[in-house]
Amino acid sequence: MNLWKEFTKGFIKENPVFIMALGLCPTLAVTSSVKNAIGMGLAATFVLTCSNMIISLIKNLIPDKIRIPCFIIVIASFVTIVDLVMNAYTPEIHKNLGLFIPLIVVNCIILGRAEAFASKNKLLPSLLDGLGMGLGFTLALVLIGSIREILGAGLWLGKEVMPDAYIENPMLVAILAPGAFIIMGLLMGLIKLVNKGK
Amino acid sequence: MSFITQIFTLAVFAIFVNNFVLSKFLGLCPYIGVSKKIDSAVGMGMAVIFVMTMASTFTWLIQEYLLIPYELEYLQTIAFILTIASLVQLVEMVIQKTAPSLYKALGVFLPLITTNCAVLGVSILNIQEDFNFLGAILNGLFSGLGFTLVLVLMAGLRERLEKSEVPEAMKGMPIAFVIAGCMALAFLGFSGLNF
């Protein structure tokens, strides 16, 4: 039961994006379409899960003073793996995400979980924590991506979901940079409102 | 194009058109996190300008003289992040020894910069866009200036916001994002510039 809690806390209660406000850069940068959001979310989930596992395994070997550089090397190795694999198998998504794949290294969610959770817990909880947080991150990305793609292009995952007249003349600003900031702000406000009402 | 015009174009593009925060979404954490007071925003901005320029210089040299000759380009991410992390540490130590007053102003911000994605971002972009050595250094400098500009503007806005009435749920981060959106809208106007 406890393990289940470790897994699900990242979805809503401790959602890394909306509640903890971590990993904001990729959240806004890659969510102009749902497809990119899913790609980014899964890439980060993979890195997060693997790095959490490795760090929880080697936590006793790392001297306390240099733990942050050690964590960063572990994370950077997995990011390199993801970078190469995505380049080989999903070149289109790799091209769209571009700069933001190497930048997973400095995504504060991953270093944050390594420092706050994996370096203090055993293998299995760390694995579930990483997986849960990663999926929570993906969930947040897909939510923002859906709103932006539907408002900004009238599409969802490339399929037409709005009337033709809307698609011809969509609210373009939602896909552009300003829309990302404003939608993010409104969503955060909404979530704060809902949480307070509980 | 003469040399001066080239530099000017690079500066305008890095500071306004391709602003790191508002159009590339890099360095958002300090942008939202350290923009509550103008003083700390200026301090953070200075530290970022400094580190971005240094990082651009060293990562370019490492790419050109270490990674390319030995065909190790796939290690770029690891090599760059290590360079930046050690650079930040080194800069911190040097400033602490040589300029204590500067250290007092920048000190608290320096460790935060390692995980500022703008620094790693500018290093990778310099390589991707094929800048030469001087171009890479200047791009680092100007991008840092652009970051500082919007950070300080944001801090000014948020200081005034303290006194205004904001709906309870929108207080703090949510309203900061909406303001950032409005700023991004204004900066979008610069993308019409043509040289």
Interface check for A103 against chain B (CB to CB < 8 A): the answer is yes
Each residue's pLDDT, cut to its tens digit, for chain B (195 residues) gives: 688 898 998 899 889 988 989 988 888 888 888 888 888 888 888 888 988 999 999 999 999 999 999 988 889 999 999 898 888 888 888 888 887 887 777 666 777 777 778 899 999 999 999 999 999 999 999 999 999 999 999 999 999 988 888 888 888 889 999 999 999 999 988 887 766
Report the pLDDT value the prediction gives residue B195, as an integer from 0 to 100.
Answer: 62
In the beta sheet, which residues pair with residue A156? A159
For residue A144, give the nearest of A29, A44, A64 by alpha carbon. Answer: A29
**A vs B: CB pairs below 8 A:** 118
Please answer yes or no on whether B178 and A186 come within 8 Å at the CB atom.
yes
DSSP A153-175: HSEETTEE-S-HHHHHS--GGGT
> What ipTM does the predicted assembly reach?
0.86
Please answer yes or no on whether B28 and A103 come within 8 Å at the CB atom.
no
Single-letter code of the amino acid located at B14: A
Tens of pLDDT, residue by residue over A56-95, are 999 889 888 888 888 889 999 999 999 999 999 999 999 9
Q: How high does pLDDT run on average in chain A?
A: 89
Report the pLDDT value the prediction gives residue A20, as an integer from 0 to 100.
Answer: 80
Interface check for A172 against chain B (CB to CB < 8 A): the answer is no
Q: What is the mean pLDDT of residues A27-41?
A: 91
pLDDT over 60 (residue A1): no
Angle between helices B117-128 and B76-98 (to 10 degrees): 120
CA dist B113 and B120 (Å) reads: 10
Report the pLDDT value the prediction gives residue B99, as an integer from 0 to 100.
Answer: 79
Report the pLDDT value the prediction gives residue B94, as an integer from 0 to 100.
Answer: 83
Beta strands at A155-156 and A159-160: parallel, antiparallel or unpaired: antiparallel
For residue B191, give the nearest of B5, B8, B12 by alpha carbon. Answer: B12
pLDDT over 80 (residue A198): no
Interface check for A124 against chain B (CB to CB < 8 A): the answer is no
